[in-house]
Amino acid sequence: MVDFVRHLPPEPKRRVRAALKDAGKLRGESDAVRGGHSGFWVDGRGGLGIVDGMREELQAVVEELKAMRDAGVSHVYLADGTLGNLRAAVSAAGSATTKPAVAAPAPARGGPAPARRKTASDSGGVREMVLPMGEGGARESRKAAPKPAKPGPSVPIPPPPVVELPDGDATEQLAWLRKRVLQCPVCNARVKPGKKVVFGVGGTQADIFFCGEAPGAEEEVEGEPFVGPAGQLLTKIIGAMGLSRGDVYIGNIMNWRPEMPTSVGNRPPTAEEMAFCLPYLRAQVEVVAPKVIVALGKTAVDGLLGPDPRRKMGQVRGKWHEFLGIPLLPTFHPSYLLRNDTLRTKRMVWEDMMQVMERVGMPVNERQRRYFLPR
């Protein structure tokens, strides 16, 4: 078993290791903090805060864990030293008084907690812990986090809306639906001031319907799905298929960016949030009536097919399913590709896209067939 931090790509690994080393020094060494030790600061009121650099490093941990979870990883292994340092870092973040602490526990939906401790003898002298990353581990994990970021919506989500499409052609129906979603009081109550509810975009006659998870920071500003870094990659993938964004339809399970206590990072939507938004997505699928739906990442798969704690993205991707009688293909989320920028992962997604092209009757040329093959 490999310690989680050792699994990280080189640059996040360097930053996370540096951060964890600093955090480790904090335990019982407050002088280092008072002396302005790198990564932490003491605010004017004597509280221990967390500087932006440190927040970024913890965010790197959060993002990497999220990407691994999206890829179907349910547990990561943490050496005792790493875990202790991570706890110290989260603890320091939790005691910040003037700057909001990063939602460090988010990857495990609550924070690091041992689900099962191995002894030195069963791991060759290195004691390791299993850090649960799935729904099941979340509650346990939250208990261990000193001051967990509030993970869910602050106001209860009402039951899902009933959406009855009016008569009309696809353009009229989609315009009606768009207006209804953009005016939805529940959705609007969940976006921060100045931010937007996000509805799907694309062609009403599109053969391919890409479904993502939820708007992120860029999307809630623009009011358009997939316009941030992951969206730009999705646009490139669509381009590699010989299409443009207007030729396909792009939507999300969620119409709003799940609330976070901090301005950085994203969290997966809760089951209630997804259930509330699903009728809006279903109506978009009904209007567009695509030949194929591509579910981008685990949240989209869970939202469309229903949650299954045993489902692993690595196992379901590239295999056909159905939503409302329409063939659905799960593939990795573009943000996973951004964090796992290897020929292998790109090829996996590309093979999925070639399946999609074939399924909708698009030709795949020889050049396209060779994309992302090892030379």
Task: Name the site residues for ligand URA (rule: CB under 6 A).
Answer: 212-216, 219, 225-226, 228, 230-231, 252
144 contacts 131 by C-beta, under 8 angstroms:
no
4 contacts 16 by C-beta, under 8 angstroms:
no
The CA distance from 3 to 141, in Å, is 18
- Kindly calculate the radius of gyration of the chain based on its CA atoms and give it in whole angstroms: 22
The nearer residue to ligand URA, 15 or 298, going by C-beta atoms, is: 298
Q: Find the shortest distance in angstroms from Cβ 306 to ligand URA.
A: 18
Q: Find the shortest distance in angstroms from Cβ 42 to ligand URA.
A: 36
Q: Find the shortest distance in angstroms from Cβ 134 to ligand URA.
A: 19
The nearer residue to ligand URA, 203 or 231, going by C-beta atoms, is: 231
The nearer residue to ligand URA, 148 or 212, going by C-beta atoms, is: 212
Q: Find the shortest distance in angstroms from Cβ 208 to ligand URA.
A: 16
The nearer residue to ligand URA, 72 or 146, going by C-beta atoms, is: 72
The nearer residue to ligand URA, 256 or 350, going by C-beta atoms, is: 256
| Strand 75-79 to 128-132 pairing | antiparallel
* Token reading at 324: 């409302």
* Cα dihedral across residues 123, 129, 130, 131: positive or negative: negative
Report the residue number whose CB is nearest to ligand URA.
212
Q: Find the shortest distance in angstroms from Cβ 300 to ligand URA.
A: 7
Which is nearest to 226 in space by CA: 335, 317, 67?
335
> DSSP state, 106?
G
Q: Find the shortest distance in angstroms from Cβ 53 to ligand URA.
A: 25
Q: What is the dihedral of CA 323, 325, 327, 331, to 10 degrees?
A: 10
> Exposure of 370 by Cβ count < 10 A (0-12 exposed, 13-18 middle, 19+ buried)?
exposed
Crossing angle of helices 170-182 and 271-288, in 10° steps, is 160
The nearer residue to ligand URA, 40 or 226, going by C-beta atoms, is: 226
